[in-house]
Amino acid sequence: MYRFISNQRSFQSPSNFQKKKNNNNNNNIVIIVSEKHTSLTISSSFQHILLLFINRTQFHRFAECVSSVTMNAKKSRNVKENGDTYEDSILMTLIGNGEDLGPMVRHSFEMGKPESLLHQLKNVVKKKEVEIEDLCKLHYEEFIVAVDELRGVLVDAEELKGELASDNFRLQEIGSTLLVRLEDLLESYSIKKNVTEAVKMSKLCVEVLDLCIKCNKHVSDGQFYPALKAIDQIEKNYMKNIPVNTLRNAIEKRVPVIKSHIERKVCGEINEWLVHIRSTSKDIGQKAIGFASFARQRNEDMLSRQKKAEEESSLGLGDFTYSLDVEEIDENSVLEINLMPLYRAYYIHICLGIGDQFRQYYYKNRMLQLSSDLQVSSVQHFLGSHQTYLAQIAGYFIVEDRVLRTAGDLLLANQVEAMWETAVAKLTLTLENQFSQMDTASHLLLVKDYVTLLGATLRQYGYDVGPILEALTNSRDKYHELLLAECRLQIRDAIINDECKQMVMKESEYQSNVLSFLLQTSDIMPAFPYVAPFSSMVPDCCRIIRSFIKDSVNYLSYGGQTNFFDFARKYLDKLLINVLNDILLSTIKSSNTGVSQAIQIAANISFLERACDYFLQTAAKQCGIPARIIARPQTTLAAKMVLKTSRDEAYLALIDLVNHKLTKYLSLMENVNWIIDDVAQHKSEYMNEVVIYLDTILSTAQQILPIDVMYKIGTGALEHVNNSFIDTLLSDSLKRFTENAVMGINSDLKNLEQFADEKFHSTGLSEIYKGSFRTCLLELRQLVNLLLSSQPENFMNPVIRMKNYNTLDYKKIGIICEKYKDSPDGLFGSLANRGARQSNRKKSLDVLKRRLKEFN
């Protein structure tokens, strides 16, 4: 039967009709009038009518008719005929609703009752046939018209069939020719496709081979990065698509070989670069340290000019102006470090996929180079090789800093830090060891200066140079010990070689020897030639001390500490106290030092004490300390007070030397005849020597020593003469002396008193001190007056004694009186005086002796 498919109650075109035979071989026509397959079964009696009816012109009318039949069929579903079963009603409802009967059919077969379902379906078909017949009867005339129209369609169909047959024949003829051509064309297309594929494969192979040629050329030219780029392009874009297996296999075998060759070549180049960069690190370090030295000198000059301008401005000596120094960058000052081989090697290793391996290789080799660079040469002395040694280290870390900043992740910050810590530990140990072996301060200063330049250089690159500078600080005492030892030798030589004579200077010498050290005693320029109150040792020692200050500050500066003025002052005190002061005291106390030398040394100490202010100012200026700071009372040198004390000790030592010399002259009293018969008619020889010596000493002291010191020397000397006479009269070696001897002492004493008065007034002491040098001889004068007195017993009178003999001691007078005889024992003296009447003076002297014995 035929099934006509309709969409929403409008029939589709005839071309969409489908003819199907049912399984029962019934020649029925099934018309599907909806998308849900609602169907109407038409009996076989209508088949011929429908075939005649259906044509192109009557199709729509037929569709309307069938649609009307369908609508009436749906309306009649709700009406049950007599004899219908309940199952038939359900089946009719399902078919009317266009629902799928598959589940019901499946259920029937599963229950084993397909006959009942088939019977129900046949009943439904019968009912539909009745409905169609009724419908056809109702529209009989319209069917007749449709059948007529279908007959016309059949005629047209026959004509069309003939035309189609003829057209088909002609088409077969033409198609055969075209088919042959089509086969040729398809064959040509196949050949073209094969040729195109071959050309494409050839181009691919050519491109691959071209890349291989380029890669070989790059490798032969040493251009490894382009070679690896070509290899990478082959592997990524061509390797899987190479159509020729032989070529692909050859390339796959050669690529690892080429990569291995490139790796070996690059490793060789980087090894050469490592050797080269190590050899050039010294030059790089020296150049960088030279820049640091130049910058330091420039800063010092600028600071010096600034301080000078400020001082002149504060004193009103000039206009205080500011200027801007524009520094021109010198192209030669840029450090040229060729890192291109390293960059290229690192990038090539990254391209090879072994970047980590190269990083470890580079770090390991650089650490080995660092260990080698940190070894001190055993062939050459460190003093001669320290610059090369330190420059090599500086260059090494300048290169590593450049690598860290420009080579990506080739070198990590913690790796550079590990390198630096290793270098610092080794370098500080080396410096401490070398410093401990040095025995010359200048050598240690040279090394220290270059180490500070090394620190200044590497500090610019972010390295912590504190531990290295700390090693310099630890050697500070060592350096100053050497420097003090050298200065001790220089000062000792200056003092030993000094003739201890006053310097006679010209005007130019006055500037360099006096004004430059602030040793002038007056602001008025003296007449020339100028006779200085000090000897040549003073300016010589000042120069030595000034050089010490400069060397000390040079070592202390540019180190770890910023305020090093206190250290400079500390070591300056050590020099002045432990070296200069000790040498001066030992010299003045030496047995080889004469009185004139002692006088000059004592005067020199006074001027060296005055020069302490200059030394402090020089140290402060070298340290960059303003003058107003050192002007404070608490900022002074302890050596100034020590030198002042030493000056007083020198004065005492000078007095001792003078007294010792006087003792030698007074020792000539041993040759005096104490029991002389006649009074001496001329001065004693020893007293002439004493007077001449005292005159010389006091004259010299007046020229170069302070007036109070001269006064002390004079009083000390005369007191010593006084005591020497008293001691001589008290000594056990002198058994007795006569009045004539006392009268000789009186004569000498008068000469000495006269000299003392004249010197006291001529030196100007009378304007400052009361009395005279005569008072120093008062005890001897009172003793002589007592022995020559007509009434010696008056000594026991308290009033007279306090007035005339207040300096005399009872015990001493008792001893001296026992030795005193008012007349000599001549050859006939005792016989001449025997039985004679004792003089009143003798009786008075005897009374004094007796009363002194009673008193004692």
Q: Which of 463, 497, 523 is the last residue of a domain?
A: 463
pLDDT, tens only, 217-236: 988 888 888 888 888 888 88
Clarify whether residues 450 and 358 are in a common domain: yes
**Any bridge partners for residue 738, and if so which?**
821
Q: Which of 463, 497, 521 is the last residue of a domain?
A: 463
Does residue 32 sit within a domain? Answer: no
Does residue 490 sit within a domain? Answer: yes
Does residue 515 sit within a domain? Answer: yes
Clarify whether residues 631 and 495 are in a common domain: yes
pLDDT at 822: 62
CB 819 within 8 A of CB 735: yes
Clarify whether residues 648 and 678 are in a common domain: no
pLDDT at 790: 85
Does residue 710 sit within a domain? Answer: yes
Clarify whether residues 541 and 455 are in a common domain: no
**Any bridge partners for residue 31, and if so which?**
4, 40
* Count of C-beta atoms within a 10 Å radius of residue 560: 18
Give the count of domains, the chain: 3
CATH of the domain at 685: 1.20.58
Clarify whether residues 676 and 623 are in a common domain: no
Q: How far apart are CA 836 and CA 242, in angstroms?
A: 169
Clarify whether residues 362 and 308 are in a common domain: yes
DSSP 180-244: HHHHHHHHHHHHHHHHHHHHHHHHHHHHHHHHHHHHHHHHHHT-HHHHHHHHHHIIIIIGGG---
Clarify whether residues 452 and 484 are in a common domain: no
Does residue 8 sit within a domain? Answer: no
Does residue 601 sit within a domain? Answer: yes
pLDDT at 27: 39
pLDDT at 312: 64
Clarify whether residues 431 and 502 are in a common domain: no
Does residue 221 sit within a domain? Answer: no
Clarify whether residues 345 and 399 are in a common domain: yes
As a dihedral over the C-alpha atoms of residue 349, residue 353, residue 358, residue 360, rounded to 10 degrees, the angle is 170
Clarify whether residues 623 and 734 are in a common domain: no
Please report, as a single letter, which amino acid is at residue 741. A
Q: Which residues of the chain have pLDDT under 70?
A: 1-88, 307-308, 310-334, 558-562, 631-634, 678-683, 822-838, 856
CATH of the domain at 507: 1.10.357.30
For 420, the token pair is 């630096």
In sequence order, what are the residues at sequence separation of 6 or more whose Cβ sits closer than 8 angstroms to the Cβ of residue 778?
722, 807
For 323, the token pair is 């200027």
pTM of the model: 0.65
pLDDT at 849: 85
Clarify whether residues 543 and 630 are in a common domain: yes
Does residue 363 sit within a domain? Answer: yes
SS3 29: strand
Clarify whether residues 676 and 647 are in a common domain: no
Give the length of the chain: 856
Domain interval for residue 639: 476-654
Q: How far apart are CA 563 and CA 569, in angstroms?
A: 11
pLDDT at 834: 38
